[in-house]
Structure 1
Amino acid sequence: MKKFLLVFIITCFVGSLKAQNNAWPEIKKESRPWTRWWWMGNAVDEKNISSLLNNYQKTGFGGVEIAPIYGAIGYESRYIPYLSKDWMKMLNHTVSTAGGLGMGVDLTTGTGWPFGGPQVPAEFAAAKLVVQNYKLAAGKVLPDKLVVKDPKAGATRLQSVTAYSDKGQVLQLIDKVDVEGNLSWRPEAGNWDIYAAFSGRTRQMVKRAAPGGEGFTLNHLSRPALDEYLKRYDIVFANNPPKVRAFYNDSYEVYNADWSDNFFDEFKMRRGYDLRPHIRDLVGKELNTNVARLKSDYRETMSEMLLENFTIPWTNWTHKYNGISKNQAHGSPGNLIDLYAAVDIPECETFGSSYFPIPGLRRDSADVRNVDPDPIMLKFASSAAHVTGKNLVSSETFTWLTEHFKTSLSQTKPELEQVFLSGVNHTFFHGTTYSPEDVPYPGWLFYASVNFVPSNSWWAHLPGLNTYITRVQSVLQAGKSDNELLVYWPIHDVWNNPKGMDMPLKVHDVDVWLHPSPFYKNVKALQDAGYSLDFISDKLLKQSTSAGTNISTSPNASPYKTLIVPKADYMPVETLEKMIDLAKKGATVIIQQMPEDVPGLSNLEANRDKLYQLVSNLVFSDAGNGVKELKTGSGRILLSNDVQKALQYVGLRGERITSTGLKYIRRQVGADKYYYLVNHTANAVDTDLPLNVLASSVVILDPESGKSGIAVSTVSGNSTLVRVQMLPGEALILKATSDISGLQKWNYLDKVAKTVEIKGQWNLHFTDGGPVVPADKKLSQLVSWTELGDSAAIAYSGRAEYTLEFKMPKIKSDEYVLNLGKVHESARVWVNGQDAGVLWSIPYQARIGKYLRKGKNTIKIEVANLMANRMRDMDKKGIEWRKYHEINFVNINYKAFDAAGWKPQPSGLVGPVTITSFKN
């Protein structure tokens, strides 16, 4: 009998796993969220590393990303010099401990940011162009020495001396300058402007450097500089190579670095003409078309240098140590798509907070920065991965989401979902600060973080968010991206600007370089119309091929059905030739408007003639409805100012999902297709949702509860209609599949039988928090802790339990849904002693039918509030806790942080708590 029972249990367990595997993909460490782990002063030790990693693993993290930074004041004796033997011992212990927990470790190749440090001599530090202008008349000798006058220019080197006469002559005179800077030249006639160009240094130091990591910022445009920089690591790693998964590079924040010592040579090699005769136009105040062309060539050269002298060789270096590269390209003065594509894991970043019309979602304007994250900006990273066939796209997520200590888990959800919808599938929290056990509350904290730390009052409920992320990412990392459109990014239109010098493409400047462009407007309109798409650069387009009627960008990438070319004023001849060639070999290319010109000054007239000849050879016929068509080879080129009309002409329609207000992203996994759906609207959706796929069955998966079931679906024409119910703030995953073995039908919530408010005398017991744990309370009415008339409760941050016995009325129902009403800020629920889950986000409800009994029931609701009230109390009492080197601790507006003037934040369960019964 015992043997039979054991076999039965094992059989049931295996069957349960099989059913789960039919619904959800395999969970890997990358499926779980990772977090940036700041090592303050590198004041780490093996005991605390082990303890913290165990805590993180239990809370649902899949890995940590080590970032050594400045330290806490008063703990200098614990600091470990960066890359010392003791530091490497701590790193190896971290990797070993994490590995034993099934976690991964990533490591930045530096401290703070950007790359730099003591191994960077002035020769290899970030460089800038310094130009001085002199006047010289006929017969005169220049009295001034050609030396840099600016004492802040750092180490300088004279690189060119260009003389311009009032008659249009241009001469190069550097060979007439002696070692002391004297110009031995006397013009015979005319008035001359002398431009002396020097390679200077920005003198930027590493920001937030850790002890042993201080020094100049690296010249990212110089290969010799990178080689010298990496020697320090080669020496340290030679006998003790780290076994980290990835090396990463933070966002490019190298300021005013617009030059390199070898720039003149690189420019001539790449652009085919000498930049030195044009130095006056490069740095002058004239804003004409020729200057714009010159600066386009200058910026393109800088982009190529950053790619070929830094990003590619650095990635190759990471492979030498059996690692992979992870890079944030945003902020770089280069082609973002190419820079992202050159690494193993492209990483984007969210900064600030978005507005979502989800009812009840808290958003206080005083607690958010005046920055709206743009999902289209995030797609530069995901597009690079998709086009090159890379599986993982990461994001530094939640940077300055709200003011310190005021971020709820519910606020992270829609922001995170917006990241997922942009193609990201490997989330890194920003972030978690290593803090030893003996450091008083709140422990060590980083100044720009949401503070995903064990001292946070909602830490015990964080597994709710982490489990949600894990389930979603398990789907978004499976198979391949399933986007049908390629959209060409006309980078030369961005570069063709006569203003300024280098052009860092920053997240904070999208209103300047991205939003006004036809590219952006087309992408936004196409996504709103339900199309899924990726961006492609000139470089990656050249590597693409036609695969029948599709376009193949990489052997490992999903094929694309159409190439969209938004209005581009400037386009390289080679790019247009490639587009035509793709069409001849079977592809469909839709061009909004033919390019007007070629970019830059290099070989301008010859390139113009080629472009004009190419365009003139394209003879279109009228296809009606504002669309013109050219059939060429086995493919076609369509010309239409309205791109969507051209897509309709070729029979490509967007997913009608977006007409409901829902947003989506798709993945193709073998023969199955997954749809990740979110409802960021103010309205509930209950509809037969049309999917652009023919599916014999559709499975609904709930990433919050983990539940799954077979949906009601029918095939209609070329679509599958699937019934979907989603409240504001909810997310679901649909799996179009033929395999539904082991799955039950999805239980829809149809007819409301009755809604009952759970009333009575609640027992309120404060459990874990501080500064003082308030006394127990009995409540006949649910109110915020701040309204209890108890000063201890007003200052309290932590958790408290609400318990109540109630009697369920006799209702014949198929399901019961618990709704907690207002919750400040997250909750865990037990019904009759059974765990009903963590309710950490809007709409704060759960299906509890299987836990309820007839008659008398018991409910326990554990609620966690924010850290804000305790931090307010500490600052009102003048308790010192902000003691850090460098930037110390600032608020969201980068002013000194002080919570003393805050109003107490509502806390606890406010309700009403209801149970709604449903009949099918």
Structure 2
Amino acid sequence: VLRIGYTTTAATTFPPSKGGLGLEIDKMSRRAADIHWDELIEKIIQDADGKKALTTIVIDSYEVGHQNWTDDFPQLFKSHSNYDIIPNLVCMTGRIVESTDYTERVLWDVRNTVAEFTHQNFFHYFKEKCHEQGFELACEPYGIGSFDALKVAKMLDLKMTEFFLWETPWFRRNLWEWTRQVVSSAAHLTGDKIVGAEAFTRHQGDWTAHPYNIKIKGDRVFTNGVNRYIFHTSVHQPWNDDVKPGFTMGMFGTQVHRNNTWFFKAKEWFTYITRCQYLMQKGNYMSDILVLYGDNRGFNNFISESDPVMDYLPGYRFNLAEMGTLQDLSVDDNGDIRVTHNGTLLENKYSLILLKRADLMTVESVELLGKLASQGAKIFTPRPIRTPSLTNFSKADEQLSKLAEKYWDSGLIATPDKFDQTLAKIQPDCEMPDSTEYCHHTIDGNSFYFVSNQTYTERIK
């Protein structure tokens, strides 16, 4: 006899305000979201009393761990996966039920269900509540949590990422660069003009950061698609000038405020940031390749440092997308892949589609890929092994096998090992020397390139 129950994850709010310490709310429960809103956010709104400065509610990066249950999870699961989870609960204990294949399919359905209702009942529901009150929702839509980061990012009013100031040099493809790719890609796939970033965060607390030694890091982030710095920190200083260093948030932040010695001498840097951000927000960020996360995991969130989703491609830029983006894609007369969002055909043209983590695929995804390939899109993805879900899996696997024969065995869709040789035939958008980064925007049909020397040494060639 196996006894199964459920309890909280024991995750608590952090860093809490005085009197604000408590358990994190259930992310799959609208009732829990209502309680949080009414007991905290609504009181802040009332305290602001209609002040125009309060325009946006922010959800920070997700740092409270995974959740796999809620009060009505059996009902949610059945509505989403069309079968009963209760007889299959043993799969969630790490035991094999019937077969490894059967168990993995159940667990995929569990992860996919959790991700879907975390999206609906937490992130999207908070957006609805913000709009009811006349606010926008901003969010850093990623973290160690059970939701799809790319899907959440696309629906936000203000898409936000973050970047830290490390003492060691940055390396490409790391976890934090991935967050910028996810967030900026979501903006590029929805036509949103602004990509925000919690900017220049640091932990040292020694007041040694200044425009000269942080500028190249900010420039690097511009090339990733960010076009609005949200300084970490630029704290309001409520006291007279004789109170120094003032309000600092302890060891956290770069201290971009009037009590820093260089603040009033940094006009040129602030003017430079303003001009760069204006042009980048006005323009359209150009990318060459669309990289899609596949269906392997049920949802896609944080990656590991050793498992980059995409290798760096000198001379090219790529956007990351989730499989739901397939329904927004079309192919033009030149074979370029285009995105339509809410009825608007976006300007960017992708030359290639590459899928990662795509050994498992739904029939619906393969049908959409096949349609694009038949219209002339160049697509590179593994030949699918099977469908991921337990729902009607025998019939679905049979359909998938026939589609794989039609598209992969015929060569209409290529496998990833053919990607490099195809890419080599495409002229790089911008060829740069080492330690140099770029991004390409168009404004009114004209191309503009932002180029950054990522060293502290003058280089003229």
Normalised to the residue count of structure 1, the TM-score between the two structures is 0.45
Task: Confirm or deny: 8 A CA contact 1:665 1:676 kept in the other structure.
Answer: yes
1:811-867 deviation digits (Å, cap 9, x = unpaired): xxxxxxxxxxxxxxxxxxxxxxxxxxxxxxxxxxxxxxxxxxxxxxxxxxxxxxxxx
Are 1:593 and 2:389 matched, yes or no?
no
Are 1:450 and 2:254 matched, yes or no?
yes
- SS of match in other structure, 2:4: strand
| Aligned match for 2:268, one of 464, 473, 494 | 464
Are 1:476 and 2:280 matched, yes or no?
yes
| Aligned match for 1:578, one of 368, 377, 387 | 368
Matched residue type, 2:407: L
1:257-298 deviation digits (Å, cap 9, x = unpaired): 332112121111111222222222212356955444333222
Cα distance in 1 for residues equivalent to 2:167 and 2:147: 27
Matches within 5 A, 1:597-676: 597-618=386-407, 629-630=411-412, 637-639=413-415, 641-649=417-425, 652-659=426-433, 661-676=435-450
Structure 1 residues 562 and 276, CA gap change in structure 2 (3 angstroms): farther
Query: Partner of 1:798 in structure 2?
Result: none
The alignment covers a number of residue pairs equal to 446
Query: Partner of 2:2 in structure 1?
Result: 194
Matched residue type, 1:219: D
Structure 1 residues 261 and 563, CA gap change in structure 2 (3 angstroms): farther
Matches within 5 A, 1:648-727: 648-649=424-425, 652-659=426-433, 661-681=435-455, 685-687=459-461
Task: Confirm or deny: 8 A CA contact 1:220 1:306 kept in the other structure.
Answer: yes
Matches within 5 A, 1:37-48: none
| Aligned match for 1:229, one of 36, 41, 53 | 36
> Which has the bigger relative contact order, CA under 8 A and spacing at least 6?
2
Cα distance in 2 for residues equivalent to 1:642 and 1:470: 42
1:139-194 deviation digits (Å, cap 9, x = unpaired): xxxxxxxxxxxxxxxxxxxxxxxxxxxxxxxxxxxxxxxxxxxxxxxxxxxxxx22
Cα distance in 1 for residues equivalent to 2:175 and 2:261: 27
Cα distance in 2 for residues equivalent to 1:569 and 1:604: 15
Structure 1 residues 433 and 285, CA gap change in structure 2 (3 angstroms): farther
Matched residue type, 1:532: R
Structure 1 residues 404 and 572, CA gap change in structure 2 (3 angstroms): farther
Structure 1 position 664, deviation (Å) = 0.8
Are 1:410 and 2:188 matched, yes or no?
no
Cα distance in 2 for residues equivalent to 1:308 and 1:442: 43
Query: Partner of 1:264 in structure 2?
Result: 74
Structure 1 residues 603 and 595, CA gap change in structure 2 (3 angstroms): same
Cα distance in 2 for residues equivalent to 1:422 and 1:354: 20
| Aligned match for 1:427, one of 224, 229, 232 | 229
Task: Confirm or deny: 8 A CA contact 1:328 1:348 kept in the other structure.
Answer: yes
Structure 1 residues 587 and 351, CA gap change in structure 2 (3 angstroms): farther
| Aligned match for 1:324, one of 108, 115, 136 | 136
Query: Partner of 1:305 in structure 2?
Result: 117
- SS of match in other structure, 1:378: helix
Are 1:487 and 2:291 matched, yes or no?
yes
- SS of match in other structure, 2:111: helix
Task: Confirm or deny: 8 A CA contact 2:288 2:352 kept in the other structure.
Answer: no
Structure 1 position 476, deviation (Å) = 1.0
Structure 1 position 404, deviation (Å) = 3.0
Query: Partner of 1:524 in structure 2?
Result: 311
Structure 1 residues 196 and 450, CA gap change in structure 2 (3 angstroms): same
- SS of match in other structure, 1:442: coil
| Aligned match for 2:91, one of 281, 301, 307 | 281
| Aligned match for 2:301, one of 493, 500, 505 | 505
| Aligned match for 1:338, one of 119, 138, 151 | 151
1:469-508 deviation digits (Å, cap 9, x = unpaired): 1111111111222213211112x3345xxxxxxx9934xx
Are 1:315 and 2:315 matched, yes or no?
no
Structure 1 residues 620 and 194, CA gap change in structure 2 (3 angstroms): closer
Which structure dedicates a bigger proportion of its chain to helix?
A: 2
- SS of match in other structure, 2:232: strand
| Aligned match for 1:537, one of 315, 322, 325 | 322
Structure 1 position 421, deviation (Å) = 1.3
Cα distance in 1 for residues equivalent to 2:181 and 2:386: 27
Task: Confirm or deny: 8 A CA contact 1:421 1:665 kept in the other structure.
Answer: yes
Query: Partner of 2:164 in structure 1?
Result: 351
Cα distance in 1 for residues equivalent to 2:94 and 2:438: 48
- SS of match in other structure, 1:397: strand
Matched residue type, 1:196: I
Task: Confirm or deny: 8 A CA contact 1:570 1:597 kept in the other structure.
Answer: yes
Q: Which runs of 5 or more structure 2 residues have no equivalent in the other structure?
A: none
Structure 1 residues 319 and 619, CA gap change in structure 2 (3 angstroms): closer
Task: Confirm or deny: 8 A CA contact 1:404 1:450 kept in the other structure.
Answer: no
Task: Confirm or deny: 8 A CA contact 1:354 1:415 kept in the other structure.
Answer: no
Structure 1 position 237, deviation (Å) = 4.7
Cα distance in 1 for residues equivalent to 2:45 and 2:176: 39
Query: Partner of 1:161 in structure 2?
Result: none
Normalised to the residue count of structure 2, the TM-score between the two structures is 0.87
Cα distance in 1 for residues equivalent to 2:273 and 2:380: 39
Structure 1 position 202, deviation (Å) = 3.4
Are 1:295 and 2:91 matched, yes or no?
no
Structure 1 residues 401 and 533, CA gap change in structure 2 (3 angstroms): farther
Which structure dedicates a bigger proportion of its chain to strand?
A: 1
Are 1:551 and 2:338 matched, yes or no?
yes
Structure 1 position 409, deviation (Å) = 2.4
Matched residue type, 2:427: R
Structure 1 position 392, deviation (Å) = 0.8
Task: Confirm or deny: 8 A CA contact 1:401 1:407 kept in the other structure.
Answer: no
Cα distance in 2 for residues equivalent to 1:435 and 1:238: 24
Structure 1 position 659, deviation (Å) = 4.7
Structure 1 residues 215 and 661, CA gap change in structure 2 (3 angstroms): closer
Cα distance in 2 for residues equivalent to 1:659 and 1:443: 43
- SS of match in other structure, 2:5: strand
Matched residue type, 1:255: G
Matched residue type, 1:580: G
- SS of match in other structure, 1:194: coil
Cα distance in 2 for residues equivalent to 1:442 and 1:640: 55
- SS of match in other structure, 1:524: coil
Structure 1 residues 661 and 254, CA gap change in structure 2 (3 angstroms): closer
Matched residue type, 2:419: V
Query: Partner of 2:179 in structure 1?
Result: 377
Structure 1 position 424, deviation (Å) = 0.8
